[in-house]
Structure 1
Amino acid sequence: MARYEDLPYRTCVGMMLINAAGLVFIGRRAGGIEHVDETHVWQMPQGGVDPGEDTWEAAKRELYEETSVRSVEKLGEVPDWLIYDIPRTVAGRAWKGRYRGQRQKWYAVRFTGKDAEINVASPGGGGHKAEFVSWRWEPMKNLPTLIVPFKRPVYERVVKEFSSLAGG
């Protein structure tokens, strides 16, 4: 097995889904070895980029696969790749031990549909495993306090980048 320091980062995308009131979608994770308590189990939709896939297309795909949402307008993106390391204590068990963390491209989108479009129990038309057990709209400024601590700097940066988009 490779040393932790030598492991690559998994290429991923993240989506900040903002409703008309300026609140952000967060989902309560269905599980995950990295979750250490009941407070830090919330996150925005995110997921891996397939080989050769455009990051914007990957972001729309991941959003649909996790929430069933397709009614969106692109508002912006973080110009940089944001990186986080997973704790060494879970590195060997997460992603089959192949990665030390993620490098993420983040997008902000305006949700233009109705809340009934959101389906986390049977996402993507029922063709995808549920990653969230529940969801809610949350003020953007609260997001960093709801995520697992090792992802907090990424969420702080995403909130800083997109804070002008809340509009509500």
Structure 2
Amino acid sequence: MTDWMSLPYRMNVGAVLFGPDGRVLVGRRAGVADAAWQLPQGGIDEGEDPRTAVLRELLEEIGTADAEILAEHPDWLQYDFPRNLQRKTWQGRYRGQSQKWFALKFLGQDADVRLDAHAHPEFDAWKWVALAELPGYAVAFKRTIYEILARDFAHLAQP
């Protein structure tokens, strides 16, 4: 049995997508009982640049990458999976995720968001929320990261 603390972190990107009024897009996880709302995020492919990965993840998760990068968080932010999820998530190969977060400006229209654009939708609903309220939407193990993002990208949360 592998020691949980010795497992690597999965490399990941996340998108804080700002709409025209300064609110950010959150999606509700599809197929998860009592699903929480979260920001778009996903893995970085082998050899892929994080800036490329974040736009690819937007396209896969919300059906559009019509956005421009405004800022990149200077740090890689990490969280550990809760022990009960760790064994189920990626067959127990990872301790958690190490994430590079980007703030992006959405250039499209609400109608461009297509959660059904991918064969296996990540989200079953989406909405715009105030950045300051973001930590309240996060599951407990991601809350600290959402607090950091709300603080560090606050200057971008304006119309």
TM-score grouping bracket, smaller chain normalisation:
over 0.9
> 1:156 matched to which residue of 2?
147
CA separation in 1, counterparts of 2:30 and 2:66?
24
> 2:30 matched to which residue of 1?
30
1:68-79 superposed matches below 5 A: 68-79=63-74
TM-score of the pair, normalised by structure 1: 0.91
Q: Secondary structure at the match of 1:113?
A: coil
> 2:80 matched to which residue of 1?
85
CA shift for structure 1 position 128: 3.4
RMSD: 1.2
Q: Any unmatched runs of 5+ in structure 1?
A: none
Superposed CA deviations along residues 59-109 of structure 1, whole A, max 9, x for unmatched, are: 000010000122111110100000000111221111110001000000010
Q: Work out the percentage of aligned pairs sharing the same amino acid.
A: 46
Superposed CA deviations along residues 94-133 of structure 1, whole A, max 9, x for unmatched, are: 111000100000001000111100011x12xxx4310100
1:131-142 superposed matches below 5 A: 131-142=122-133
> 2:3 matched to which residue of 1?
3
Q: Secondary structure at the match of 2:61?
A: helix
TM-score of the pair, normalised by structure 2: 0.96
CA separation in 1, counterparts of 2:85 and 2:124?
22
State whether residues 65 and 128 of structure 1, in contact with CA within 8 Å, keep that contact through their aligned partners in structure 2: no
1:55 maps onto 2:50 in alignment:
yes
Q: Any unmatched runs of 5+ in structure 2?
A: none
One-letter amino acid of the counterpart of residue 108, structure 1: A
One-letter amino acid of the counterpart of residue 54, structure 2: A
State whether residues 12 and 102 of structure 1, in contact with CA within 8 Å, keep that contact through their aligned partners in structure 2: yes
One-letter amino acid of the counterpart of residue 92, structure 2: G
Q: Secondary structure at the match of 2:155?
A: helix
CA separation in 2, counterparts of 1:31 and 1:142?
24
Q: State how many pairs are aligned.
A: 159
> 2:110 matched to which residue of 1?
115
Give the alignment partner of residue 95 of structure 1, picking from 61, 75, 90.
Answer: 90
Query: Which consecutive aligned stretches of 4+ in structure 1 deviate over 4 angstroms post-superposition?
Result: none
One-letter amino acid of the counterpart of residue 151, structure 1: K
> 1:128 matched to which residue of 2?
119
